[in-house]
């Protein structure tokens, strides 16, 4: 089970209405639709970009809706960072490199270290490495500027 992304630096928390029929898990990367609602981002956000990370799950029997149909989202900006689990070992040489995201609906997202083509997350620092006895590989990441939906400071 992946660890929910943790807002780390320069993150706004906003509440958005869910797109009809969506199921969220806390930690899913989300996108903002033209109607102003949020949907789960795919594994390769592409031109849709990433708004941020859902801080609450809803739908599919996941949780009771405490926000009257709205999802709290940690909105990523140009200077935001998040603590995220990597799906495999990371090395000091990976700092400054870009990778993709694993973002299946109903599962917390994680850094996809094997995806070097559809990249959207940049490793800023390694927080914990399973090779050093930690239970998981934790990294500090930022979202590429060209993948951000909000982008402001």
The ranges assigned to domains in the chain are: 6-143
| Model confidence pLDDT, tens digit, residues 80-118 | 888 888 888 888 899 999 998 887 665 678 888 888 888
Q: Which residues pair with 32 in a beta bridge?
A: 38
Rounded Cα distance, 133 and 76, in Å: 30
Rounded Cα distance, 109 and 53, in Å: 9
β 38-40/29-32 pair status? antiparallel
Rounded Cα distance, 136 and 120, in Å: 21
Return the structure tokens found at 139: 């990294």
pTM surpassing 0.75?
yes
Class of 6-143 per CATH?
mainly beta
| Model confidence pLDDT, tens digit, residues 33-66 | 878 888 888 777 766 688 988 888 766 555 545 5
């Amino acid at each position: 089970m992946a660890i929910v992304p943790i807002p780390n630096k320069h993150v706004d928390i906003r509440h958005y209405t869910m797109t009809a029929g969506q199921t969220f898990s806390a930690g899913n990367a989300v996108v903002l639709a033209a109607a102003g609602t949020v949907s789960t981002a795919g594994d390769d956000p592409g031109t849709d970009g990433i708004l941020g990370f859902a801080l609450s799950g809803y739908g599919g029997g996941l949780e009771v809706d405490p926000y009257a149909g709205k999802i709290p989202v940690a909105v990523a900006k140009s200077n935001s960072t998040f603590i995220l689990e990597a799906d495999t070992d990371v090395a000091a040489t990976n700092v400054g490199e870009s990778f993709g995201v694993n973002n299946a609906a109903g599962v917390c997202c994680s850094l996809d270290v094997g995806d070097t083509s559809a990249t959207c997350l940049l490793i800023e620092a390694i927080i914990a490495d399973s090779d050093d006895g930690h239970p998981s590989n934790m990294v500090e990441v930022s979202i590429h500027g060209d993948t951000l939906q909000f982008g402001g400071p």
